[in-house]
Amino acid sequence: MFKIWKIAFRDLVRNRRRSLLTLLAIVIGVSLLLFTGSFYDGVFAGSLDMSIHLQTSDLQIRAQSYDADKISLDWKDLIENPQDLTGQIEAIQGVQAVTPVLWASGMLLSGSESVGVQINGIDPRSPIYDPIRQALTSGEMFAADDRGGVLVGESLAKSLGLSVGQNITLVTNTANRETDQAAFTIRGLFDTGVAQYDDSTIYMPLEKAQTFTAAGTRASAIRILLNDRTQAESYAAAFAAPGLQVLTWKQLNSILMDSVNASAAFIQLLYFIVLGMVAVVIANTLLMSVFERTREMGILSALGMKSRQILGMFLLEAGMLAVVGVALGVLFGGLIVYYYSQVGISFGQDIMEVKASNMITYGKVLYTQFSALKTMQLSLTALIMILLVAVYPASFAARLQPVQSLHGK
Amino acid sequence: MSAIEVEQITKTYKIGTQETHALRGVTASFNEGEFTALVGPSGSGKTTLLQIIGCLDQPTSGALRIKGQDVSRLNADQRADLRKGTIGFVFQFFALIPGLTAYENVELPLLLNGEGTAARKARVLELLDAVGLSERANHRPDQLSGGEQQRVAVARALSVRPLMVLADEPTANLDTENGKQVMEIMRRLNQETGVTFLFATHDPRVVSYATRVVQLRDGRIDDNHSAIPTV
Ligand SMILES: Nc1ncnc2c1ncn2[C@@H]1O[C@H](COP(=O)(O)OP(=O)(O)OP(=O)(O)O)[C@@H](O)[C@H]1O
Ligand SMILES: [Mg+2]
């Protein structure tokens, strides 16, 4: 449209400082939001990943009556023939790994101290426990037929002054609703990065756990990892059988998922607050520009420019600021996000913990997560918001009568 | 033939309850090619009359005819269109667009009128030459002297070959020498192109260029002091 863009552009260049400060506001706003969003995404993706790998897996099969909160060991609440089921599921395409697990609540006794723990009877050969193998800081994973070996969290061991090779006593609830007690040797210490988990988790071979708790050959659950997590629902439907319940990672991490949604709403609010502030800065800049240029508006109007065209010129000016600012903001914010997605942000302690049954949370290092979709959404929202805000000063300029604006010599 | 006719024009400004009668019934006509000085004491309504003739403002009552056509009741967009092709303005302050060069300032009305590139270029160069500023084509207003800026404004006012150029105290902010230069250029272009000029002024030296003088007093034309001097 004529040289309107040129007048608008020249005005931005002429008022270099004002334009730069406005750009800066947009850049800071956009990159801040980009970073905040990817930070939260990183926290939740990380938490979810951690939770799935350490605890829930993609799918779990349990007895229909099993209540995870009670960690029941009653035979009716356990899976009768976990090895058969495991073998069947293993053969199904798309299943990455499958393994039975037995959970029991117990107590670790060492000297005069006692600590409540959750005992995990596991098959150490399953790749599902790769994360634990990788988390070992000393010692090694026990063998499947080890009758007296356990893994203890490093932080727990430290607080009790224990190390690899030393003995501990474990007390456990049993299937008979009694308690049993036995001595074990620490084979290894692990550090998952989640203190709460490390402080309360004991691993021992499944078979030993079964005899220790009088569970026979039964298991609390069968953990399954899939090649494609997003297909969990259809696999769950396929595995459904009478007397069994099949839970997906979404159901197993429902509290975490809920808090993701809650914080998504919070992020949304933050977006609007920060963008609102940026918008006010833009509006202010443009309004100043309008006031400074009333005479110029008068001249343009005298030359025959219509108010619609003057409105367009101001919107164009705001648009140029917005496009350049948002682009720079995305670039700058994107670089920061990329950097921290590679290097990670190290925290001295756990970033967050949500105490709930079967729920663990994030470790000590956070990796931001870049989302192209969210970046596009943010850019678009910012652009639209800035343009909307620009309408007020622009229409103010357009409403000026030529005589009004030419007045004052 | 008369290019512009005003008939019983009144203009009343209202600020709150206070009414100012800036024009109290002005009737006049301006012929093509005339070079008219509008004189009168401060507050007599010169600027107001120029604004109404220039379609920047509307009269409270009365009629304005441009080439015989009544234009006193046009809406804002229609007036903008009329200004665009028919009227050129020169203001007391050097009213150039600060972001654009001298060349671009002269070009702007041509762009608004949708002139083609080649025609624009030829016209702009011709006019810059006519006001003696060919060398300054690429200077921005803040790189030009007041006199130079006003000459660019004159060139811009003439760019679309308007019916009429309205100038409100075009020399008031210039020194004698520059004022003289601007008046001589306007007079020469008036003679060469036959464009009608109407300019308000206080300055007797400026009045001396006029082919006709219209005297305003209290919002009315004072016929006793208006005259068509012999050229
Ligand atoms: N926008 C306005 N609102 C209210 N009153 C106005 C307005 N413009 C002009 N007036 C009044 O109308 C009268 C005529 O003003 P105008 O500017 O036309 O005079 P002028 O002859 O141009 O004066 P000067 O020689 O000082 O420029 C004055 O009394 C002025 O105060
Ligand atoms: Mg005046």
CA-based nearest distance B45→chain A, Å:
14
Work out the pLDDT band at A48, boundaries 50, 70, 90.
Answer: confident
pLDDT of residue B9: 92
Please count the CA atoms within 13 angstroms of the CA of B187 that sit on its side-chain side.
15
Picking from A220, A128, A211, the residue whose alpha carbon sits closest to that of residue A176 is A211
Burial (CB count <10 Å: 0-12, 13-18, 19+), residue A381: middle
Q: Does B22 reside within a domain?
A: yes
pLDDT at position A360 is: 42
Domain boundaries, chain A: 2-52+256-406, 65-242
Q: Which residues surround ligand 2, an ion (CB under 5 A)?
A: B 46-47
- In the numeric block, the tokens 């750009």 are attached to A23
Helix (H) or strand (E) holding A151: strand A149-153
Report residue A128: phi and psi, to 5°: -60, -25
**Best of A9, A299, A399 to mutate (most B CBs within 10 Å, chain B):** A299
Cβ contact A6–B104 (<8 Å)? yes
pLDDT of residue A326: 93
pLDDT at residue number A394? 84
| Tens digits of residue pLDDT in A179-198 | 999 999 999 999 987 888 89
> What is the reported pLDDT for A354?
45
Residue nearest atom 3 of ligand 1, based on CA coordinates:
B13
pLDDT in tens, B113-133: 888 889 999 999 999 998 899
> What is the pLDDT confidence band of residue A357, given thresholds at 50, 70 and 90?
very low
* DSSP at A358: T
Residues of B in contact with A304 (CB under 8 A): 80-85, 109, 112-113
> How confident is the model at residue A3, as a pLDDT?
66
pLDDT at A407: 60
Percentage of the residues of chain B whose pLDDT score is greater than 90: 54
Q: Residue A324: its pLDDT value, please?
A: 93
Q: Which helix (H) or strand (E) holds A106?
A: strand A95-110
Range of the domain at B13: 2-225
* pLDDT above 90 coverage of chain A, percent: 46
Q: Which of B12, B18, B38, B46 to mutate to test the pocket of ligand 1 (most atoms within 8 A of CB)?
A: B46
Calculate how far, in angstroms, residue B107's C-alpha sits from the geometric centre of ligand 2.
27
The stretch B155-166 carries a mean pLDDT of 92
What is the model's pLDDT at position A408? Answer: 46
The confidence score (pLDDT) of residue B226 equals 66
Please report the pLDDT score of residue A364 as a whole number.
63
For residue B137, name the pLDDT band (cuts at 50, 70, 90). very high
**Cβ–Cβ gap A302/B54 under 8 Å:** yes
Half-sphere exposure of residue A239: CA atoms within 13 angstroms, side-chain side: 33
Specify if B230 maps to a domain.
no
pLDDT digits (tens, 9 = 90+) for B34-66: 999 999 999 999 999 999 999 988 899 999 999
Residues of B in contact with A11 (CB under 8 A): 98-99
Instruction: Say if the Cβ atoms of B111 and A306 lie within 8 Å.
Output: no
pLDDT at A49 over 90: no
Q: Read off the pLDDT of each residue in B10-29 and give the average, rounded to a whole number.
A: 91
Name the domain count of chain B.
1
Tokens matching residue A405: 């604006």
DSSP B24-46: EEEEEEEETT-EEEEE-STTSSH
What was the pLDDT predicted at A164? 96
For residues B8 and B92, the model is more confident at B8
* CATH number reported for the structural domain that contains residue B206 in this entry: 3.40.50.300
Inter-residue contact A325 to A22 (CB < 8 Å): yes
Residue A125: pLDDT band with limits 50, 70, 90? very high
Model confidence pLDDT, tens digit, residues A184-235 = 999 999 998 788 889 999 999 999 999 999 999 999 999 999 999 999 999 9
Size of interface A-B (CB pairs under 8 A): 79
Whether A128 contacts A121, CB under 8 Å: no
| Average pLDDT, integer, range A80-107 | 93
The arithmetic mean of pLDDT across residues B78-87, rounded, is 90
Give pLDDT, residue B230.
Answer: 45
Of ligand 1's atoms, which has the minimum distance to the CA of residue B41? 25
A383 has pLDDT over 50:
yes
CA angle, A332 then A334 then A338, to 5°: 120
Q: What is the mean pLDDT of chain B?
A: 89
pLDDT of residue A255: 83
pLDDT range class, residue A362, cuts 50, 70, 90: low
3-state secondary structure of A116: strand
ipTM of the complex: 0.90
Give per-residue pLDDT as tens, B170-195: 888 888 888 898 899 999 999 999 99
Dihedral sign for Cα atoms in the order A46, A47, A50, A52: negative
| Residue pLDDT, tens place only, A249-308 | 999 988 888 888 888 888 888 888 888 888 888 888 878 888 888 888 888 888 988 888
Q: Which of A12, A303, A313, A401 to mutate to test the interface with B (most CBs of B within 10 A)?
A: A303
Q: Is the entire prediction scored with pTM above 0.80?
A: no
Amino acid identity, position B164:
M
Quote the pLDDT of residue A8. 80
